[in-house]
């Protein structure tokens, strides 16, 4: 890996890390932004559902008033107009569901929205019944209330889904207002029914009771709104929900509070009450619409802030990356240029050049320091090269002084000069000694040649005996190999028998397990037959035939269970016997395997003996050849020793090329000749294997190692 690549990597890793962190932060911002957009759909769903609930509540009240008021034409006209309003609002609701992805954002609403769609499709059919045949207002109220409650439940789930606590807190009062409107709508419907009943002189206690429960429900929902809402939201409510309609509803409620006792509606028409209550509920609807609008504005502001934060993140991250890239590129170029100059200088040194210019030594950084150090190194190497040149011309008188204790090259050159002086002096002495030793070597080589001939005869006799022994060992090896194959086959057969017995044991255990299942089935059948008999007994005479069948089934189950028990017992015994056989085989297989292993070891040992005998035989043959070669070598050694004496004369002439200082007085020269003591040779006689003497006796020799040894102390050292 190049240094340039490492530097690039050192720059790239932080940049990549920065990009990764930037991507992680950007992803988080994008996810938050998507959540805010999803919240926009959540708020829109709550708004659309609330609007549909409001219109359905009005249609419900008009439908109840139309039925309880004897189906007057003026109410029918209002009801038909309201139905068109509901249809238009439902169409907008469906359009929103189709265009948004609310099912993905709130998965729990998927089934509820489908059910709401199915139930709302039934309104058209129910309207025909309201217009023609339906006579009870309670049934109409229940029909519409079921659908309104489903929509309100969707609103609750939608608000509860919100991952943003601020949005959830803002929308929770909206849910309470929708619930208050639902109770108020039912109060409106049943209040209109009470006024119509009072006009007819027949106030229903059940209707009155329902009216009171709805009035109470509205008040509780408004109390929840006040406890959950912010001061701003409460201010909106107090500002909007007031005026003549609110005051009229309060007065009408006082009449309705005692209408069950007085049976007097004070001449108030149910349609008038319905219109006044609707006007008041419309005011409440304005409040929750303002809440939804404020929440939407809040979301839009949050989305805008998220966009700005994302843009700011990319701007800061891009700026940091750009600065880092600029610094890295400029610094990398400067570093690369300096390293290139340093590389050129080092290449010059590698080629052996010491006199050249090094650019960049004026730099005031670490690379400049390195280039100046390389320049000093080139000068030092030039000095060493001049010293080596003098040594190459044979001048060993020059002294080399190291720059410091760490100057390995200078120390090595100094030690080399000292060693060369010593070597040249000693080589001169050794050349004389080599010449004297060559004559002694020539005499010894003649004796070696004579002894080699007698040894060759003895080796041939030993070779014949070894060949006969090799043939016997080879026969033993073949027999052992056949025995090894038989023992191995026996071990494999015993092992396979053990595996077969083990398979049989496992099969028997499987059968026993299956029989247990049959026993359980028989027990269950017996129990079912008993239950059937009990049921037949309860049926009396009609179940007699069934009781007989149940009895027979029970007997058959008992016999099956008994047979299964017997088979299970036999299986257990078979498993035990097979297991014992398996254990015996398991005990037998190791012994057979041990026998096969021993036979294999015997066979291997016999083969090794055969190989060893062959090697001995081959070694003896090779020894014979070596002895013959030794005789020839001894003759060549004599000739070589004469040549060695001549070469020693030439060596003395070569050594005289070097100029060294005169030897010191304490050094002994080689004036006295070196004396060698020849080894003692003892001649022996080789005999034939049969005991008869050879006609031609061959002399052999024996080296006497007790003779005077030659050591380094026998040489005289010369110091330069």
The 3-state secondary structure of 147-162, one letter per residue? HHHHHHHHHHHHHHHC
Tokens of 59: 């249609």
Select from 71, 94, 303 the least CA-distant residue to 196: 71
Alpha-carbon torsion (50, 52, 55, 58), positive or negative: negative
Taking alpha carbons only, the member of 104, 101, 112 closest to residue 41 is 101
CA distances from residue 313 to 18, 295, 300, 309 in whole angstroms, order as listed: 12, 27, 20, 6
* 211: nearest Cα among 238, 184, 178: 184
pLDDT above 50 (res 576): yes
Contact of 6 with 58, CB cutoff 8 Å: no
Neighbour count for residue 142 (Cβ, 10 Å): 11
pLDDT computed for residue 414 by the predictor: 74
Per the model's pLDDT, the better-predicted residue between 159 and 29 turns out to be 159
Cβ neighbour number for residue 18 with a 10 Å cutoff: 14
pLDDT at 253: 93
Q: Cβ of 543: how many Cβ atoms within 10 Å?
A: 18
Interval 434-439 mean pLDDT: 68
Q: How far apart are the C-alpha atoms of 146 and 116, rounded to whole Å?
A: 10
| pLDDT value of position 567 | 84
Pick from 618, 619, 630: which is nearest to 700 by CA? 630
> Structure tokens of 611?
């190989």
Give the model's confidence band at 277: pLDDT under 50 very low, under 70 low, under 90 confident, else very high. Answer: very high
**Per the structure block, which two tokens stand in for 336?**
């690369």
Q: Which of 59-63, 420-424, 680-684 has the lowest mean pLDDT?
A: 680-684
As to burial, measured by CB atoms within 10 angstroms (0-12 exposed, 13-18 middle, 19+ buried), residue 455 is buried
Amino acid 702: pLDDT: 47
Q: In the structure, what pLDDT confidence band is assigned to residue 211 with cuts at 50, 70 and 90?
A: very high
pTM metric for this prediction: 0.41
What is the pLDDT, as a whole number, of residue 698? 37
As a whole number of angstroms, the distance between CA 708 and CA 679 comes to 8
Report how far residue 474's alpha carbon sits from residue 639's, in angstroms, rounded to the nearest whole number: 47
Domains of the chain: 3-320 (no CATH), 448-634 (1.10.287)
pLDDT confidence bin for 310, thresholds 50/70/90: low
On whether the CB atoms of residues 248 and 177 are closer than 8 A, the answer is no
- With CA atoms as reference, report the closest residue to 171 among 257, 118, 237, 230: 230
Retrieve residue 352's tokens.
């052996």
Could you tell me the pLDDT band of residue 389, with boundaries at 50, 70 and 90? confident
Cα distance between residue 657 and residue 660, in whole Å: 10
Q: Find where tokens 């037959």 sit.
A: 529
- Listed in sequence order, the residues at least 6 apart from 136 whose beta carbon sits closer than 8 Å to its beta carbon are 67
């Amino acid at each position: 890996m190049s240094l340039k690549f490492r530097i690039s990597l050192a720059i790239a890793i932080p940049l990549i890390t920065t990009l990764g962190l930037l991507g992680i932060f950007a992803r988080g911002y994008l996810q938050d932004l998507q959540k805010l957009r999803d919240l926009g759909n959540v708020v829109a769903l709550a708004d659309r559902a609330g609007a549909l609930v409001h219109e359905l509540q009005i249609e419900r009240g008009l439908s109840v008033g139309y039925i309880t008021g004897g189906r007057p034409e003026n109410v029918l006209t209002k009801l038909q107009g309201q139905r068109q309003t509901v249809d238009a609002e439902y169409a907008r609701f469906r359009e929103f569901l189709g265009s948004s992805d609310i099912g993905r954002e709130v998965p729990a609403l998927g089934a509820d929205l489908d059910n709401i769609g199915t139930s709302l499709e039934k309104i058209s059919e129910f309207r025909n019944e309201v217009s023609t045949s339906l006579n009870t207002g309670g049934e109409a109220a229940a029909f519409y209330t079921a659908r309104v409650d489903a929509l309100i439940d969707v609103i609750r789930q939608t608000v509860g889904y919100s991952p943003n606590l601020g949005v959830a807190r803002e929308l929770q009062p909206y849910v309470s207002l929708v619930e208050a409107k639902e109770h108020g709508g039912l109060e409106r419907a049943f209040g209109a029914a009470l006024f119509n009943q009072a006009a007819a002189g027949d106030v229903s206690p059940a209707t009155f009771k329902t009216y009171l429960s709805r009035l109470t429900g509205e008040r509780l929902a408004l109390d929840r709104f006040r406890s959950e809402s912010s001061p701003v939201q409460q201010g909106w409510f107090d500002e909007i929900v007031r005026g003549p309609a609110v005051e009229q509803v309060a007065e009408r409620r006082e009449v309705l509070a005692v209408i069950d006792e007085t049976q007097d509606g004070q001449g108030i028409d149910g349609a008038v009450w319905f219109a006044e209550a609707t006007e008041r509920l419309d005011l409440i609807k304005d409040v929750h619409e303002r809440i939804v609008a404020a929440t939407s504005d809040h979301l839009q502001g949050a989305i805008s802030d998220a966009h700005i934060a994302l843009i700011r993140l990319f701007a800061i991250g891009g700026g940091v990356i750009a600065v880092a890239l600029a610094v890295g590129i400029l610094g990398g170029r400067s570093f690369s240029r300096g390293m290139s100059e340093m590389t050129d200088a080092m290449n010059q040194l590698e080629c052996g050049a010491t006199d050249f210019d090094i650019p960049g030594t004026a730099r005031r950084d670490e690379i400049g320091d390195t280039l100046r150090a390389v320049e000093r190194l080139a000068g030092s190497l030039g000095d060493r090269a001049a010293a080596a040149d003098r040594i190459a011309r044979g001048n060993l008188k020059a002294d080399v002084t190291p720059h410091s204790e760490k100057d390995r090259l200078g120390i090595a050159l100094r030690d080399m000069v000292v060693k060369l002086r010593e070597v040249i002096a000693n080589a001169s002495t050794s050349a004389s000694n080599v010449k004297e030793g060559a004559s002694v070597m020539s005499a010894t080589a003649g004796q070696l040649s004579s002894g080699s001939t007698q040894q060759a005869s003895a080796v041939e006799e030993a070779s014949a005996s070894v060949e006969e022994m090799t043939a016997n060992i080879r026969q033993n090896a073949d027999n052992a190999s056949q025995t090894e194959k038989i023992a191995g086959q026996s071990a494999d057969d015993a092992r396979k028998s053990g595996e077969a017995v083990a398979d049989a044991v496992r099969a028997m255990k499987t059968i026993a397990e299956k029989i247990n299942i049959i026993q359980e089935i028989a027990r269950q059948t017996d129990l079912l037959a008993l239950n059937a008999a009990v049921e037949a007994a309860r049926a009396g005479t009609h179940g007699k035939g069934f009781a007989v069948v149940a009895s027979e089934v029970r007997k058959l189950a008992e016999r099956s269970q008994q047979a299964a028990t017997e088979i299970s017992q036999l299986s257990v015994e078979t498993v035990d016997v097979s297991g014992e056989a398996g254990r015996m085989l398991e005990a037998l297989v190791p012994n057979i395997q041990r026998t096969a292993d021993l036979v294999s070891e015997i066979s291997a040992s016999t083969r090794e003996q055969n190989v060893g005998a062959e090697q001995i035989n081959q070694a003896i043959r090779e020894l014979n050849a070596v002895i013959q070669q030794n005789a020839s070598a001894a003759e060549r050694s004599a000739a070589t020793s004469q040549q060695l004496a001549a070469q020693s004369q030439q060596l003395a002439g070569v050594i005289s090329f070097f100029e060294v200082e005169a030897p010191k007085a304490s050094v002994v020269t080689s004036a006295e000749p070196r004396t060698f003591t020849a080894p003692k040779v003892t001649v022996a006689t080789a005999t034939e294997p049969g005991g008869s003497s050879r006609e031609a006796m061959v002399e052999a020799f024996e080296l006497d190692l007790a003779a005077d040894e030659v050591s380094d102390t026998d040489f005289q050292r010369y110091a330069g």
